[in-house]
């Protein structure tokens, strides 16, 4: 939806834009192109890897792009520190980037195998392994139901609570298998663990609180 988003934002020279979810830098790049020669963008992302990839991609725009590793929830403080009183447009492209999903070691996906991590900001202590292994069964059920709209939330929480007594659940593949076991015969059009992974990601990154 790059074209539609930028059309609505309608970037113009001399204006200032906040990209609260810089990610791979695709939206910011288009804003910088359309606001040539002197439109400015402040790009934020919680993910250090995303930020450095975006900075590399957008190097040619020089000082027209400022970037910070931060949550968009901190935007007003950061705007104050760089001396911007106001912005002319804001974009939030919420969710997860393809880079995050495609990197098994980030632990976001049931495809591939990696440690259960799911932190967008890796300076944060709470990760998915801790949520899965230390949250109460009823809290896990609530997370799967409220953040994943998972109809089998209770069953899945039960299976995880029983399994983790034998051995901590440490990897994305282990979790995906346990969820699939709790939902036999389900998920023909998508992986049975899709909603559980989404729910855990939202819980680990406190995404609703940030919004």
Ligand X SMILES: C[S@@+](CC[C@H](N)C(=O)[O-])C[C@H]1O[C@@H](n2cnc3c(N)ncnc32)[C@H](O)[C@@H]1O
Q: Report in angstroms how near the CB of residue 113 gets to ligand X at its nearest.
A: 21
Interacting residues with ligand X (CB under 6 A): 20-21, 23-27, 44-47, 50, 71-73, 93, 95, 97, 120, 210
Residues β-bridged to residue 19 = 43, 91
Instruction: Tell me whether residue 47 or residue 141 sits nearer to ligand X (CB atom).
Output: 47
Give which of 172, 173, 176 is closest to 129, Cα–Cα: 172
Instruction: Tell me whether residue 101 or residue 159 sits nearer to ligand X (CB atom).
Output: 101
Q: Report in angstroms how near the CB of residue 51 gets to ligand X at its nearest.
A: 8
Q: Report in angstroms how near the CB of residue 195 gets to ligand X at its nearest.
A: 18
Q: Report in angstroms how near the CB of residue 97 gets to ligand X at its nearest.
A: 4
Give the residue at shortest CB distance from ligand X: 23
Instruction: Tell me whether residue 27 or residue 145 sits nearer to ligand X (CB atom).
Output: 27
């Amino acid at each position: 939806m790059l074209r539609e988003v930028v059309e609505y934002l309608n970037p113009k020279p001399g204006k200032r834009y906040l990209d609260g979810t810089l990610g791979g830098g695709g939206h910011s790049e288009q804003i910088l192109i359309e606001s040539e020669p002197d439109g400015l963008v402040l790009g934020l992302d919680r993910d250090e890897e995303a930020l450095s990839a975006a900075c590399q991609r957008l190097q040619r725009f020089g000082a027209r792009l400022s970037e910070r590793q931060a949550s968009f929830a901190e935007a007003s403080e950061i705007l104050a520190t760089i001396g911007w009183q106001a912005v002319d447009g804001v974009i939030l492209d919420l969710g997860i980037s393809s880079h995050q999903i495609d990197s098994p070691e980030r632990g976001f996906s049931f495809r591939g195998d990696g440690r259960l991590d799911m932190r967008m900001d890796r300076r944060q202590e709470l990760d998915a392994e801790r949520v899965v292994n230390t949250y109460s069964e009823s809290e896990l059920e609530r997370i799967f139901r409220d953040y994943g709209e998972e109809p089998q939330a209770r069953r899945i929480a039960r299976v995880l609570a029983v399994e983790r007594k034998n051995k901590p659940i440490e990897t994305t593949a282990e979790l995906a298998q346990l969820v699939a076991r709790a939902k036999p015969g389900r998920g023909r059009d998508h992986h049975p663990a899709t909603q559980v992974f989404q729910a855990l990601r939202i819980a680990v990154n406190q995404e609703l609180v940030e919004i």
